[in-house]
């Protein structure tokens, strides 16, 4: 019986009811999310201008998520070389994400989806108040270019920069 319970919990975490994951080549769901910097960000704001990367993470102040944010902080220059808006996203409230970013001196904007509606639209709804650790690369046309479902927290920032290069995202002009 204990094994069956574990199996059901695992199945719920990996395939949340009603969640249909965004697929490569499909249009990404529109969103309007509060940022840790006090601004609101919408996918439509970047249409035709810049690509968008949404690095979903399970929970602020946990060890894996802290390692991921620290790696994005440490690789900020490499990421910033590309013409893409890169965000980390969680189900945590904006105030908590702001404190989380501040706790590791990260300049990275963290987006908040406290009601989980955007997580559900992207198919990253997990168990309870946790999102799956998936990273979505969205082109200027609003379509998913790549989805990383095997994010490595210790190299997340470097991996994002490398994937942007691999996808042919334009580099910003040197100053």
Active site (catalytic) residues: 65
Going across the sheet that includes 32-35, the strands are: 40-42, 32-35, 110-112, 84-90, 51-56, 135-138, 144-148
In Å, what is the CA distance from 154 to each residue of 15, 68, 136? 25, 6, 18
Residue 38: is it exposed, middle or buried by C-beta count within 10 angstroms (0-12/13-18/19+)? exposed
CB-based contacts of 32, cutoff 8 Å, min separation 6? 40, 41, 42
Asked if 157 and 164 touch (Cβ cutoff 8 Å), the reply is: no
Does residue 54 come out as left (phi exceeding 0), alpha (psi in the -120 to 50 range) or beta? beta
Owner of token pair 């996808």: 167
């Amino acid at each position: 019986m204990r094994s069956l319970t574990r199996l059901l919990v695992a199945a719920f975490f990996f395939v949340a009811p009603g969640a249909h994951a965004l697929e490569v080549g499909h249009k990404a769901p529109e969103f309007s999310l509060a940022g840790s910097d006090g601004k609101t960000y919408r996918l439509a704001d970047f249409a035709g201008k810049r690509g968008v990367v949404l690095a979903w993470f399970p929970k602020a102040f946990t060890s894996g998520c802290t390692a991921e944010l620290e790696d994005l902080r440490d690789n900020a220059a490499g990421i910033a070389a590309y013409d893409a808006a890169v965000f980390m996203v969680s189900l945590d409230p904006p105030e908590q994400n702001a404190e989380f970013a501040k706790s590791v001196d990260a300049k990275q904007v963290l987006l908040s989806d406290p009601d989980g509606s955007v997580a559900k639209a992207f198919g990253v709804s997990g168990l309870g108040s946790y999102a799956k650790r998936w990273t979505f690369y969205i082109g200027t046309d609003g379509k998913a270019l790549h989805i990383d479902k095997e994010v490595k927290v210790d190299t997340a920032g470097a991996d994002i920069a490398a994937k942007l290069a691999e996808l042919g995202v334009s580099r910003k002009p040197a100053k």
